[in-house]
Amino acid sequence: DRKIKIAPSILSADFANFGAEIRAIEDQGADWVHVDVMDGHFVPNLTFGPPAVKAFRPHVTTFMDVHLMISPVDAYIEAYAEAGADMITAHIEAGPHPHRTLQAIRATGKQAGIALNPGTPVEAVEYLLDLTDMVLVMTVNPGFGGQKFIHSQLTKIKRLRQMIGDRPVHIQVDGGVDVTTAPLVAQAGADVLVAGSAVFKGGSVNQPDIYGDNIRKI
Ligand code: DX5
Ligand code: ZN
């Protein structure tokens, strides 16, 4: 049986309190910390530059998973690596050379992920599987937390699990993962579940046990 990891997205945290929020979710059982980087161009929202990610670093004791929703992406890989990412994930739609992008991420010594938007066919990663540590299947269109899970992506996850075969490649799912959809993605073959609103809802750094309850329910 595959061990499922939960990676809360700090996009749903209190933006005035990241250090305490990161400590709270880790104390409450988060396996990874997922950081959503948005550029206002590849996606219609703006979040964290490398200095912000560098400021998160000392608070993360688990694994900092940095999801880059930026285009072009190659020029920023080194900066996010130096900021302290453990995994850097780029979108396959972010440029014409995803193979080069994965090589560039691996050259920094960090783990390399490749993300697929909901409209992108799974076959697009076929020739990238030996260069990647993780494929991220987006189950919403990227840009915002709290959107509705797109069920058609379950077929994509199943096909991807077959394509990966014996390779040591994680399947991460991001978008609309909650108590209802988590079992579906796990059953389809995903092993790293990103969740923003489903982890942070109802809790706070003063009521961190609610984060813990939310994580255990997923
Ligand atoms: C979407 C981001 C996600 C998002 C998930 O663009 O990549 O990580 O924050 O949020 P929920 O779990 O609320 O859909
Ligand atoms: Zn994300």
Please tell me whether 176 is known to bind a ligand: yes
Question: CB under 8 Å to 126, separation ≥6 — which residues?
Answer: 163
What tokens does 206 get?
A: 């003063």
Catalytic residue, from 31, 36, 39, 65: name it.
Answer: 36
pLDDT digits (tens, 9 = 90+) for 36-81: 999 999 999 999 999 999 999 999 999 999 999 999 999 999 999 9
Q: Give the closest residue to 192 by CA, choosing from 1, 6, 63, 2.
A: 6
pLDDT above 70 (res 1): no
pLDDT above 90 (res 147): yes
Q: Distance, CA 163 to ligand 2 centroid (Å)?
A: 23
Statement: the pTM of the whole predicted model exceeds 0.90: yes
Is the domain covering 5-217 a CATH 3.20.20.70 domain? yes
pLDDT digits (tens, 9 = 90+) for 72-112: 999 999 999 999 999 999 999 999 999 999 999 999 999 99
36 is catalytic: yes
- Cβ atoms within 10 A of the Cβ of 144, count? 16
pLDDT above 80 (res 212): yes
Note whether 205 and 24 are within 8 A (CB). yes
Please tell me whether 146 is known to bind a ligand: yes
* Ligand 1 site residues, Cβ closer than 6 angstroms: 9, 11-12, 34, 36, 67, 140, 142-147, 174-177, 194-198
Average pLDDT over residues 190-217: 98
Q: Distance, CA 196 to ligand 1 centroid (Å)?
A: 5
Q: Distance, CA 173 to ligand 2 centroid (Å)?
A: 9
39 is catalytic: no
Predicted pLDDT of residue 132: 98
Domain ranges of the chain: 5-217
Catalytic residue, from 31, 39, 133, 174: name it.
Answer: 174
- Cα-based distances in Å from 52 to 37, 66, 73, 161: 10, 12, 17, 34
pLDDT digits (tens, 9 = 90+) for 164-180: 999 999 999 999 999 99
